[in-house]
Every structure is written in structure tokens, then in C-alpha cells.
Amino acid sequence: MSAISDAALTYLADWLDVKSAVDNASPHTLQAYQRDVLGFLGFLTQHTATVGGRDSLAAITVHDMRAWMAHLRGQKIAPRSLARKLSSVKSFYKWFAKREGIDPTIVLSTKAPKFQNKLPRPLAEDAAMDVIDTIELQSTTPWIAARDTAVITLLYACGLRISEALSLTGKAAPLAKTLHITGKGGKDRIVPVLQIARDAVEDYRRLCPFDLGSGDPLFRGARGGALTPRAIQKVMQNTRMQLGLPATATPHALRHSFATHLLSAGGDLRSIQELLGHANLSTTQAYTGVDTARLMEVYAQTHPKAVGS
């Protein structure tokens, strides 16, 4: 099996550096990009036996792209995953084309496979409250029970991603009425903090046996290290089993529930978009499961032109 050339690997490394420094891509995202593009370069190396540098990468053909897509389908890669891999390759080629002055049309015009978007499944309002009331029962250690309640309450009351909640440091506490969050892509937002969430965090701080310094993680694992997402996922799993909730009742589903319940209560879709930190309104639309009729209703009620007509 031929090895990917040093030149191609250097291009990949330089592109990843740009994604990290300029786009502020997370380590997890960078790892996914690297896997996707490495797989692509590895296939081209075998398929063409010519991938060595700029000219070889620039000489890619429609046949090469079709062969790569067929190769992935032959590996039983799901359409959603295939589309993600193609997106990574397109992003790499956009950067490569700009840097080297080549035409990326063949790669960029390759169509992704169609797949049906899976809409998130938020919890019912009473189920979300049941989760918050029950989560503490999963541990017999008081401070851990209070910790789990605090994290889960933040996810539902503030619409945080689990990574955002667990990235909070001692400096954030005691929580103010608003919280400054840096989300995906370095996008900043201000999130209101309900009293129930502030109280839950204070209960945890009062019981926590570890020193919660301003620069240290706010939420700690049993041995004092930073709390991991897996620990919260596990306690949520135990809770949903106790309550008889479906497997879709995950920590992230609480963020979906936050958005959906706000919308059901008459919240403005654009405001919910800001609270969630979504770059596009269409993402918020899918996130809340709002249909086109509801979207048009929100539009008619909030758009200046519609309101003034």
C-alpha cells in the first residue's frame, strides 16, 4: 500500500492549523477533519498512484470523485457520514485552491448523498421537570447529587451544551443573572440564568469538598478532576430508566427542550436563536421542530415589514 506523500500531508497539516487558529475549530472537530481528509488522500494515493503534491491534487477528475464516493458506499458508510466526509474534503479543497491558485470546481460540485434529517426529540415539560427532581437520587453522596442536579438544571434552564456547562470555571460562581458563554466556533452569547439554576449551583458549591478556584473547573469529578461529559450522560441514562423515558432523553435533549418550550410559550424564534448560539435561523427552526406554518406565524408577528403592513 502506497503511503500518502509528505507534500500532501503538509497541506493537510497547514489547513488544520488554519481551521484551528482562524476558525477556532474544536479539537474534536479537527480530529474529524483530519480523519476525513486523510481517508480521502489515502484513497487517491491508491486510486491514481500519482498523489504527490500540488499538481497531483489539482489534477483530480470527476471520475476520481465518483470512485471515492463509490468506495465509501462499498464500505457501508451511512449517507449522513458520507456527506460529512465530503464536506470536509470540500473545505480542504477550498483552502487549497485559494492558496495554490487552482480550480476546485470538480470537488466543490460533487453532490452529497440525500438523507433525512433527524429532528431532535425534546422532553415534555413535565418530563423535563421530573428529570431535574429525580437526578439527585442517582447518587448517595450529597455533593455529587447536588453537582448532577446543578449541571442538568443548567442544560435545561439556560439551553447550554454539555461542553459549555462543563467548561465553566470557579470564576463564574456565584452565577449572576446572566452568563457569558463562548460556544462553537468561538461565538459569544449572553444567556439569562434562572434563579433555579443559580440556587442549584450554590447548593453544589456549598457541599463540594474541593477548592473551586477561579481558574479551575467549576464542576468536579469524584476524585477532584474536571467532570467529564460521560459522567453526566451516565447519570442521565440512569434517570431516564428510572422514569421510563425513551433513549432519546439525553443531556443534549434538555437543550432541545429549553428551545422548544420557550417557543411553545410564545418566545421569538430569533431570540431563541441568539440564546442557543446558532449561526443560522434554519438550525433553530430544525432544533425546535417548528414547522413552516409556525415559522411564518413567527415571521408575521416579528418582522418589521410584516408588522407594519
Distance CA 174, CA 256 (A): 26
pLDDT tens digits, one per residue of 180-216: 888 776 777 888 888 888 999 999 999 999 998 888 9
Q: What is the mean pLDDT of residues 118-136?
A: 82
Higher per-residue pLDDT: 238 or 188: 238
Higher per-residue pLDDT: 257 or 98: 98
As a CATH number, domain 6-108 is 1.10.150.130
Q: Find the length of the chain.
A: 309
As a CATH number, domain 125-254 is 1.10.443.10
Distance CA 73, CA 244 (A): 37
Q: What is the mean pLDDT of residues 277-289?
A: 58
- pLDDT of amino acid 62: 93
Lowest mean pLDDT across 102-116, 222-236, 283-297: 283-297
Q: CB neighbours (10 Å) of residue 207? A: 14
CB 47 within 8 A of CB 69: no
> With helix as H, strand as E and coil as C, how does 158-188 read?
HCCCHHHHHCCEHHHCCCCCEEEEECHHHCE
Beta partners for 12? none
Does 174 sit behind a cis peptide bond, omega within 30 degrees of 0 on the bond before it? yes
Lowest mean pLDDT across 107-116, 230-239, 283-292: 283-292
pLDDT over threshold 50, residue 10: yes
- pLDDT of amino acid 300: 59
Catalytic residues: 161, 184, 252, 255, 278, 287
Give the amino acid at 250: T
Q: pLDDT tier at 15 (50, 70, 90 boundaries)?
A: very high
Query: Please, where in the chain does CATH 1.10.150.130 lie?
Result: 6-108
pLDDT over threshold 90, residue 257: no
**Cell matching residue 31:** 480530529
Q: What is the mean pLDDT of residues 92-119?
A: 85
pLDDT over threshold 70, residue 304: no
pLDDT over threshold 60, residue 259: yes
Distance CA 218, CA 170 (A): 5
pLDDT over threshold 60, residue 294: no
pLDDT over threshold 70, residue 118: no
Helix (H) or strand (E) holding 191: strand 188-192
How deeply is 298 buried, as exposed, middle or buried, from its count of CB atoms within 10 A (0-12, 13-18, 19+)? buried
- pLDDT of amino acid 100: 92
In sequence order, the 6+-apart residues with CB closer than 8 A to the CB of 66 are none
Distance CA 300, CA 11 (A): 48
Nearest to 156 by CA among 34, 287, 259: 259
pLDDT tens digits, one per residue of 217-227: 999 999 999 99
In sequence order, the 6+-apart residues with CB closer than 8 A to the CB of 119 are 286, 289
Q: pLDDT tier at 143 (50, 70, 90 boundaries)?
A: very high
- pLDDT of amino acid 101: 92
- pLDDT of amino acid 36: 94
- pLDDT of amino acid 239: 92
**Cell matching residue 208:** 463540594
Our CA dihedral for 142, 148, 152, 157, rounded to 10 degrees, sits at 40
Cα–Cα distance list, 52 to 64, 69, 97 (Å): 15, 21, 16
Higher per-residue pLDDT: 85 or 121: 85
pLDDT over threshold 50, residue 309: no
Lowest mean pLDDT across 27-41, 134-148, 206-220, 282-296: 282-296
CB 52 within 8 A of CB 7: yes
Q: pLDDT tier at 306 (50, 70, 90 boundaries)?
A: very low
Q: Tell me the three state secondary structure of residue 192.
A: strand
Cα–Cα distance list, 124 to 7, 128, 158, 295 (Å): 53, 6, 17, 21
Distance CA 30, CA 103 (A): 25
Q: pLDDT tier at 22 (50, 70, 90 boundaries)?
A: confident
Query: Please, where in the chain does CATH 1.10.443.10 lie?
Result: 125-254
